[in-house]
């Protein structure tokens, strides 16, 4: 039982419990910079390359054995290769793949996902896709399926990677750059989407959008369907984002977010319903700016919550000095939200910088969503020297960036953010999509985020003593946080239980375990070092025992009825008015009568006080009782049977929470 718990329980009893209201806010428990030294043995090609790029990360889950998967590719001169790296719960690498178990090198991985059965699927390329060259627009792309390489092989005493299937994409998809993949969980129907390229005015560029549907059939030919938005709409539609869903009939509905680029930026929605063969197009917003906003090369600037809602960044900030003619306009950057069903557009944040002629950026914004929460990585480089300050926050209606790092490298196409949550442990990983030493910046932020309850600094109210969740630390680092699995109230004892699954917290010391109340008050702090049995589920019990005891005599008198009543009362937020002390003592006379007498509190500290009252003895007294406010429970009985008639007495009773 912590001192905070004792003080709150004392305030509860004397009826002075604060009626505070907590302020919901983000509280970062840790902000840790990850050193490149921890990556030395896991850098692709030993850290030597002409170019390299992290294309994405896969959210850890039971299917990935709670490991994070990072993937992409690199190029050495004209030779390209892919890589896959497994990261532990602290985003520290533990395994690198650059080849299959057969010895065949990986190809550049554009996009990768994992299916419901643990099979990984991806699009790979036989050249370094990220190069802006004709070669990368005319290369062979494959749809590949991989084993679950996050499963540790006890036979090999290592992780293993094997290619299970591969299918070459149709010839009209040589210019495809996959940015999105999803699968119908009830079939082998895959939907892919991304950019497509063309030779536009003598220059190759990713200036279009394309989708591909693949149905893998057993015993018959696979089915392919692909379409470029440019060919369908007659407009140059640069890919910005997409969201797709499947129905019970295995049909897919999807929505593209695209831009037309050029001097005046227009953001479009291109939508196909389940049974439609044609596109429905909608202009969402038009900017009278040279539009460089939602770019294929800038990460996470479009985030769909679902097929009906989207957040996006619009900007004409550019890494060039082209400010002539129609491009000679003020530079702006903004975040917007759009609901397609209601056609409601709102601006979350926007900044206008005036005319900038320097080849550098003042701002960077990256968006990502998790469980319908929007997270914003906000980067400021006011000096435009490619050294910036990084801010991160969860958007809840207010623009409230929280500083996480100062004076870190900033390059406009490299900044990225990744969010994962395991129960209440939210981890935010800010990184650069290159592992080059010049741009190294990896930051891991941890937060105890209780999505269904209060988040913020502890406060005291009538529910401050109700157990709600637990957090576990290993050497001062938060490693686990979760709501209670169960709470049992048995007389004067409350047992609060949190479940730790078998795949968590193995092979580490658990140095601190905290029980938190509904208001984030730390009720119990256990600093005994423990370890859970490896790969066994652990049920961690926090036991609170309340004992009301009278110590006016040599022999301590336990009051089980009062103990049970008080323990039950503090575990609900509607019993405070009943269980706190009544503001008068009950005087019981020997003739069977009684009366009430007021008292005062003296010498009050954080956890103790003296209940003082005066009595004139006009008839013989048995005792005085300190009772609950509803008068159903006696907390303390003071023996006054020895007091003499016709005298005045000052009675003092100490009360203390220990």
Question: Per residue in 33-58, pLDDT tens?
Answer: 999 999 999 999 999 999 999 999 99
Top-confidence residue, 353 or 541: 541
Residue 234, in any domain of the structure: no
Which pLDDT belongs to residue 321? 52
Q: For residue 125, how many C-alpha atoms fall within 13 Å in the half-sphere facing its CB?
A: 28
Last residue of a domain, one of 545, 560, 591: 545
Which pLDDT belongs to residue 146? 99
- Between helices 3-13 and 560-570, what is the axis angle to 10°? 100
Mean pLDDT check: name the lowest of 117-126, 320-329, 589-598, 631-640.
Answer: 320-329
Residue 624, in any domain of the structure: yes
Local confidence band at 131 (pLDDT 50, 70, 90 cut-offs):
confident
Mean pLDDT check: name the lowest of 292-296, 407-411, 650-654.
Answer: 292-296
Q: What is the pLDDT of residues 567-578, one digit of tens each?
A: 999 999 999 999
Residue 412 in this model has a pLDDT that exceeds 80: no
Q: What is the pLDDT of residues 457-508, one digit of tens each?
A: 999 999 999 999 999 999 999 999 999 999 999 999 999 999 999 888 988 9
Residue 292 in this model has a pLDDT that exceeds 90: no
Q: Enumerate residues 6+ apart whose C-beta is below 8 A from 378.
A: 363, 364, 365, 390, 391, 392, 393, 401
* Residue given tokens 């956890």 in the structure block: 607
- Residues 581-595 have a mean pLDDT of 98
Q: If you write DSSP's letter for every residue of 587-646 in order, what string do you get?
A: EEETTS-EEEEE-EEES--SSEEEEEEEEE-SS-EEEEEEEBTTSS-EEEEEE-TTPPTT
Which of 389, 393, 379, 312 minimizes the C-alpha distance to 345?
312
Q: Would you say the C-alpha torsion 245, 247, 252, 256 has a positive or negative sign? A: negative
Same domain, 539 and 467: yes
Distance (Å, rounded) from C-alpha 44 to C-alpha 48?
7
**Which DSSP letter does residue 169 get?**
P
Residue 172, in any domain of the structure: no
- Residues 60-83 have a mean pLDDT of 94
Residue 328 in this model has a pLDDT that exceeds 90: no
- Residues 544-571 have a mean pLDDT of 95
Residue 192 in this model has a pLDDT that exceeds 80: yes
For residue 260, CA distances in Å to 2, 289, 329, 364 come to 61, 12, 18, 22
Same domain, 540 and 603: no
Q: What is the pLDDT of residues 500-546, one digit of tens each?
A: 998 889 889 999 999 999 999 999 999 999 999 888 999 999 999 99
Residue 310, in any domain of the structure: no
Top-confidence residue, 367 or 261: 367
Q: Work out the angle at residue 250's Cα, subtended by the Cα atoms of residues 57 and 256, and round it to the nearest 5 degrees.
A: 55
Percent of the chain whose predicted confidence (pLDDT) is above 90? 77
**Which DSSP letter does residue 293 get?**
-
Residue 284, in any domain of the structure: no
Same domain, 467 and 540: yes
Domain limits for position 593: 581-656
**Helices (H), strands (E): how many in the chain?**
4, 46
Most confident residue range from 127-136, 303-312, 318-327: 303-312
Which of 383, 381, 392 minimizes the C-alpha distance to 416?
392
Residue 325 in this model has a pLDDT that exceeds 60: no
**Which DSSP letter does residue 333 get?**
E
Q: Enumerate residues 6+ apart whose C-beta is below 8 A from 600.
A: 611, 612, 613
Local confidence band at 293 (pLDDT 50, 70, 90 cut-offs):
very low
Q: What is the pLDDT of residues 5-30, one digit of tens each?
A: 999 999 999 999 999 999 999 999 99
Across the chain, which distance is largest between two alpha carbons, in Å? 114
Same domain, 463 and 526: yes
Dihedral pair phi/psi, residue 227, rounded to 5°:
-155, 140
Most confident residue range from 208-212, 274-278, 601-605: 601-605
* Residue given tokens 């004892």 in the structure block: 493
Residue 210 in this model has a pLDDT that exceeds 90: yes
User: Do the beta carbons of residue 191 and residue 113 sit within 8 Å?
Assistant: no
Between the two ends of the chain, the Cα-to-Cα distance in Å is 9
Dihedral pair phi/psi, residue 566, rounded to 5°:
-65, -40
Residue 75 in this model has a pLDDT that exceeds 90: yes
Mean pLDDT of the chain: 91
C-alpha R_g of the chain: 33
Which pLDDT belongs to residue 411? 83
558, two tokens: 């336990």
Q: Enumerate residues 6+ apart whose C-beta is below 8 A from 321.
A: 357, 358, 359
Same domain, 469 and 535: yes
646, two tokens: 């016709």
Q: Would you say the C-alpha torsion 222, 223, 229, 232 has a positive or negative sign? A: positive
Residue 104, in any domain of the structure: no
Distance (Å, rounded) from C-alpha 561 to C-alpha 12?
18
Mean pLDDT check: name the lowest of 82-86, 154-158, 227-231, 617-621.
Answer: 227-231
Last residue of a domain, one of 545, 566, 600: 545
* Residue given tokens 């906000």 in the structure block: 378
Same domain, 537 and 594: no
Local confidence band at 277 (pLDDT 50, 70, 90 cut-offs):
confident
Top-confidence residue, 327 or 594: 594
Top-confidence residue, 522 or 361: 522
Top-confidence residue, 291 or 527: 527
Q: Which long-range contacts (CB under 8 A, 24 or more apart) does 394-397 make?
A: 394/26, 394/449, 395/348, 396/24
Residue 532, in any domain of the structure: yes
Last residue of a domain, one of 496, 520, 545: 545
What is the side-by-side strand order in the sheet with 477-483? 477-483, 467-474, 512-517, 522-526
Residue 165 in this model has a pLDDT that exceeds 70: yes
Residue 487, in any domain of the structure: yes
Residue 212 in this model has a pLDDT that exceeds 90: yes
Which pLDDT belongs to residue 359? 59
- Strand (E) or helix (H) holding 370: strand 363-370
Which pLDDT belongs to residue 201? 62
* Residue given tokens 């022999």 in the structure block: 555
Same domain, 589 and 540: no
Same domain, 590 and 532: no
User: Do the beta carbons of residue 257 and residue 310 sit within 8 Å?
Assistant: yes
How many C-beta neighbours within 10 Å does residue 390 have?
23
> How many domains, in total, are found in the chain?
2
């Amino acid at each position: 039982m912590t001192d905070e718990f004792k003080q709150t329980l004392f305030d509860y009893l004397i009826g002075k419990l604060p009626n505070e209201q907590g302020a919901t806010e983000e509280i970062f428990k840790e902000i840790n910079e990850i050193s490149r030294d921890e990556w030395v043995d896991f850098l692709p090609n030993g850290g030597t390359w002409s170019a390299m790029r992290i294309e994405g990360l896969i959210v850890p889950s039971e299917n990935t054995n709670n490991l994070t998967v990072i993937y992409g590719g690199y190029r050495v001169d004209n030779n390209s290769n892919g890589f896959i790296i497994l990261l532990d719960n602290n985003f520290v690498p533990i395994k690198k793949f650059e080849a299959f178990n057969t010895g065949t090198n990986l190809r550049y991985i554009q996009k990768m996902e994992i299916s419901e059965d643990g099979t990984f699927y991806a699009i790979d390329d036989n050249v370094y896709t990220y190069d802006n060259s004709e070669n990368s627009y005319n290369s062979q792309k494959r749809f590949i399926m991989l084993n679950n390489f996050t499963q540790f092989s006890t036979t090999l005493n290592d992780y293993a990677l094997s290619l299970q299937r591969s299918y070459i994409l149709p010839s009209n998809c040589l210019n495809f750059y996959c940015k999105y993949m999803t699968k119908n969980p009830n079939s082998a129907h895959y939907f892919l989407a991304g950019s497509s390229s063309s030779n536009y005015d003598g220059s190759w560029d990713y200036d279009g959008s394309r989708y591909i549907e693949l149905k893998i059939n057993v015993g018959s030919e696979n089915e392919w369907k692909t379409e470029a938005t440019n060919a369908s709409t007659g407009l140059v539609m640069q890919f910005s984002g997409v969201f797709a869903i499947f129905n019970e009939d295995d049909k897919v509905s999807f929505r593209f977010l695209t831009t037309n680029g050029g001097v005046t930026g227009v953001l479009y929605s291109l939508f196909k319903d389940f049974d439609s063969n044609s596109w429905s197009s909608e202009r969402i917003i038009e900017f009278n700016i040279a539009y460089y906003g939602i770019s294929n090369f800038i990460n996470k600037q479009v985030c769909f919550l679902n097929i009906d809602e989207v957040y996006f960044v619009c900007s004409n900030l550019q890494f060039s000095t082209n400010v002539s003619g129609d491009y000679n306009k003020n530079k702006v950057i903004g975040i917007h939200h759009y609901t397609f069903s209601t056609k409601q557009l709102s601006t979350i944040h926007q900044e206008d910088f005036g005319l900038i002629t320097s080849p550098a950026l003042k701002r960077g914004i990256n968006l990502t969503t998790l469980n319908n929460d929007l997270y914003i990585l906000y980067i400021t480089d006011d000096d435009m020297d490619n050294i910036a300050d990084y801010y991160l926050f969860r958007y809840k209606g207010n623009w409230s960036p929280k500083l996480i790092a100062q004076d870190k490298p900033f390059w406009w196409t490299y900044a990225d953010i990744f969010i994962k949550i395991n129960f209440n442990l939210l981890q935010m990983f800010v990184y650069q999509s290159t592992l080059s030493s010049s741009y190294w910046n990896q930051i891991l932020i941890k937060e105890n985020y209780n999505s269904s309850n209060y988040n913020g600094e502890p406060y005291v109210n009538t529910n401050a003593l109700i157990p709600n969740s637990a957090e576990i630390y290993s050497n001062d680092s938060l490693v686990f946080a979760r709501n209670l699995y169960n709470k049992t109230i048995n007389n004067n004892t409350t047992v609060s239980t949190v479940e730790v699954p078998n795949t968590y917290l193995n092979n580490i010391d658990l140095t601190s375990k905290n029980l938190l109340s509904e208001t984030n008050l730390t009720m119990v702090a256990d600093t005994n070092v423990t370890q859970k049995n490896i790969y066994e589920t652990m049920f961690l019990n926090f036991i609170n025992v309340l004992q009301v005891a009278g110590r006016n005599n040599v022999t301590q008198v336990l009051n089980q009825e009062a103990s049970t009543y008080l323990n039950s009362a503090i575990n609900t937020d509607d019993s405070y008015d009943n269980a706190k002390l009544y503001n008068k003592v009950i005087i019981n006379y020997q003739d069977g009568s009684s009366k009430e007498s007021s008292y005062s509190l003296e010498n009050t500290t954080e956890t103790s006080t003296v209940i003082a009252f005066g009595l004139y003895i006009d008839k013989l007294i048995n005792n005085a009782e300190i009772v609950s406010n509803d008068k159903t429970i006696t907390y303390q009985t003071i023996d006054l049977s020895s007091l003499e008639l016709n005298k005045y007495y000052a009675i003092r009773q100490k009360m203390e929470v220990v």
